[in-house]
Amino acid sequence: MTGTEQPHWREFITRAVAEGRLLQVTFSQPRRKDIEARKISIRPLKLKSGLHFQLERLQGNKAYHENVPENAAGERLTQLMGDYRQALFKTREADVQLLANKKGEVTMLRGNPTGKTNEPVTAHNRLKSYVLPEGEPVPFLIRLGVTTPEGRVVKAKYDKFRQINRFLEMVADVLPDLPRGRPLTVVDFGSGKSYLTFALYHMLAIREQLPVKIIGLDLKADVIAECSRLAEDLAWHNLTFSVGDIAEYEGESSVDMVVTLHACDTATDAALLKAISWNASVILSVPCCQHELFRQISQPTLKPLLKHGILKERFSALVTDALRANLLETAGYRTQMLEFIDLEHTPKNLLIRAVQGPAGENRTTVWNEYQRLRDFLGVSPYMEKELLKMNPRP
C-alpha cells in the first residue's frame, strides 16, 4: 500500500457506506485496555427491513453480533475508529487501511482491491449467497466441525454447510410472522445432532437479537448430552436439550415455532398436531420415512403405478405430505412445499412450511377437497383422526 494525504478519512467512510462500495471492514488493535473486543468484523447484510451492516465482535473465544441500519452505519464506523488503532476497508475499487497514531491522528493507505467483487453491494442485493458466509468464523460451526477456526468450510461438511444455510433462508422468510414484544419459544422435535437447532439459535438470538428460548427434543440420551455440553460451552443458556418422545412431550404450554426435521413416519404427524394444539405461528417440517399410507393405499385405477414397490413408496410419500398440508390449512395455516436440499443428496428433500393465516381457499373448501382425495385413495390418516379429536369440525 502507498500513503496519500487524506485529511478527510471520515468523508471516505461516509461515502463508502452511502455509495454501497463496502465489501468488508475489520477493526483491530484496541487503543485502550477497557475495550474487550480484540477485533470487529463488519459486512453488509440484506434483511427484509433493508440493508444493514453486521458487526461481529470477538471477545475471548466467543462472537457477538449486532446489526446496524444503513443510515446509521457511517457514524458507527467513524466512532469505532476512535477505539482502534487500525482498520481495513475492502471496497470494490481498493483496499483502504486507516492507521491511528498515539495522538489519534489517522493516516490513510490505499492499495489494490482484494475483496470479491463479482456481486455489487446495493440495497437490493445480498452480498453473499449464504446467510452464514464462507470465510467468516462462526463459533457453533467451528465446534460442530463444519468449518475451521478461520471460517473455511471443511470439505467433507460442505453439504451440511449448504443445508444449514438453506434452512436459515427459509427461517428468514418467516421472521415477520413471529410475534414481537415478548420472549419467543421454539421447540425442535427430533433434533438429533442439532446442527440446525444451533443454527436456528444463532440466527434468532445472536444475529436478530430476539428474546428466544429453544428446546431440542430427541430420544437418544447420548446425543442430547453432547448437545447440552456444546450449548453450555457457547454460553447459550436459552438453548436446552431434553430426552423425550414427541407424542408425549408436555414441557411447554405455549410455543411460537415448531421445527420437526426427519421425524419418522407418524412422528411427523405427532409434531404437527402438537404445533396446532399450541397455536404455533410457524411450523417447519421435513418428513422422513412414511409407511402409514403405503400400507393403506388401495385404488384399482392406479394399479399400473402402485404395482411397482418403489413407485408406490414415492407416491405414498407425496400423498402423505399433500394430505398433511391440506389438514394444516383446515387448521388455519397457509402452507408451502419447498425443496430443502438438492435431490442428489437425499430423496427426503421436501419441507412443509406453515404459517398462521387463511389459505387461498376457505377451510370448508380445503376440507372437502381433502376428503375427496382421501376417499379416492382409500386411506385413513392418523393425523386426521387425531385432529378431529381436537376440533371435530375443521
Amino acid found at 386: E
Q: How far apart are CA 160 and CA 152, in angstroms?
A: 13
CA gap 154, 138 in Å, rounded: 13
Q: Pairing between strand 50-59 and 39-47?
A: antiparallel
Cα distance between residue 174 and residue 281, in whole Å: 9
Give the pLDDT of residue 117.
53
Rounded Cα gap, residues 357 and 171, in angstroms: 17
Question: Where exactly are the structural domains of the chain?
Answer: 2-128, 155-390
Per-residue buried b or exposed e for 318-345, using 16+ beta carbons within 10 Å of the residue's own CB: ebbbebbbbbbbbbbbbbeeeebbeeee
Predicted pLDDT at 214: 95
Say if strands 95-100 and 282-286 run parallel, antiparallel, or are unpaired. unpaired
Integer CA distances (angstroms), 352 to 97, 197, 328, 339, in order: 47, 17, 10, 9
Q: Give the CA count within 13 Å in the CB-facing half-sphere of 373.
A: 20
Amino acid letter, residue 103: K
Contacts of 67 (CB under 8 A, 6+ apart): 45, 47, 52, 53, 54, 55, 207, 208, 209
DSSP state of 47: E
| pLDDT score recorded for residue 344 | 39
Residues 6+ apart with CB under 8 A from 358: 332, 334
- Tens-of-pLDDT digits for all 394 residues of the chain? 444 444 478 888 988 888 888 999 999 989 988 888 888 999 998 877 788 999 988 776 667 788 899 989 999 999 999 999 999 999 888 889 999 888 888 888 888 887 655 444 443 344 345 788 888 888 999 999 999 988 889 988 888 898 899 889 889 888 889 998 899 999 998 888 889 999 999 999 998 889 999 999 988 899 999 999 999 999 999 999 999 888 788 888 889 999 988 767 678 888 999 999 999 999 999 887 778 888 999 999 999 999 999 999 999 989 999 999 999 999 999 998 888 764 334 445 788 999 998 766 788 899 999 999 999 999 999 999 999 888 765 5
Grid coordinates given for 300 = 384399482
Domain 155-390: give its CATH superfamily.
Vaccinia Virus protein VP39 (3.40.50.150)
In this prediction, residue 128 carries a pLDDT of: 45
Residue 380 · residue 263 · CB < 8 Å: no
- The pLDDT value given to residue 360: 62
pLDDT of residue 142: 92
Give the pairing of strands 350-356 and 282-286: antiparallel
**For residue 389, how many C-alpha atoms fall within 13 Å in the half-sphere facing its CB?**
7
Distance between CA atoms of residues 24 and 45, nearest Å: 11
DSSP string computed for 134-179: TTS--HHHHHTTSB-TTSPBPGGGHHHHHHHHHHHHHHHHHGGGS-
What is the reported pLDDT for 225? 94
- Number of neighbouring beta carbons within 10 Å of residue 353: 22
Q: How would you class 225 by CB atoms within 10 Å of its CB: exposed for 0-12, middle for 13-18, buried for 19 or more? A: exposed
Classify 374 as helix, strand or coil.
Answer: helix
Nine cell digits for residue 201: 439459535
Q: Radius of gyration over alpha carbons of the chain, in Å?
A: 25
